[in-house]
Structure 1
Amino acid sequence: MSNASLAPLPLDDLSDAFAPDARARAILRGRRMLREDLKSAGGTYDLGEVCELLGAISRQAVDKKVREGALLAVPGPGNRRRYPTVQFDGEGRLVKGLREVQAALPTDNPWMVLNFLVNPDARLGNRPPVALLRQGRIGEVVEAARRLGEQGA
């Protein structure tokens, strides 16, 4: 092996080696999508705020609502649960139908649930599902949730 083959390559010749591959770019896109979904959701409440909104209920009662699917929680900073504000109405009550929608979705990933709720859906006239839940149109949203991921749905 000659010394010439061991000579350092100019940094410009390595630029493609520093570029993220397809998997790494997908991870970044996913992170950006989460950020946009949270913005669309109006941000989040912390546990204390949710306890207050729901009538001074206990932390255990909040946890039970999350386990039952009546309340959506996403991992927040420090891996502490945060509760998207979009699931509450103007009076601070939970939007009706959330439990049924979560049960109908083909995922239990809270980020996917949030994504479904806040983004316009062609099956719902290009309106966000949460907007229809606020109107009491639970059946339509549940059906759209059930069909999520179906080919041609």
Structure 2
Amino acid sequence: MTAFRAGEVARTLVEEIPVVWVEPEPRPSRAPLALWLPHLTSTKEGHLPVLRQLAEAGLVAVSFDPWLHGDRGPESPEQIAERVMGAVEAAHESDRTLWRHRDFVRTRIGVKYTPAEVRAVAEAAIRTAVQSKDDPADLINVALDELVRQRCELPG
């Protein structure tokens, strides 16, 4: 382990995984832990400002490079994004494949998607709620609650 002082960035390897962390200053005997996971194409080093902010708020802030990212990967952020987005696009090479996948997911999770029926459900919920509510946000929430209750996919 690398020697460090509270408030400074510390770096080490944990089972060959590069890790960075920042501890609050002054360093308490026990502090909550914040594990900050970098998003796609991001690295632990890119999040040092966030780790410092978390430490200033009294947390031990830890981050590491996800598999094949940053110090653990041979690709640039642009190459990672291209590879991932290419895989997503390849999965739906045709509209027919896309519709088949959507139908599979809807069936699997038990959601119905018939736009006219879904709109009718939302409209009926709003018509009932308008008797006691007048705030548009409340009416929208009532409609959304009813759509979720009836396992309806939101209409596009």
Q: TM-score range by the shorter chain?
A: under 0.3
**More strand by percentage:** 2
Q: Does 1 or 2 have the higher relative contact order (CA < 8 Å, sep 6+)? A: 1
TM-score normalised over the length of structure 2:
0.22
Which structure has the bigger radius of gyration?
Answer: 2
TM-score when normalising by structure 1: 0.22
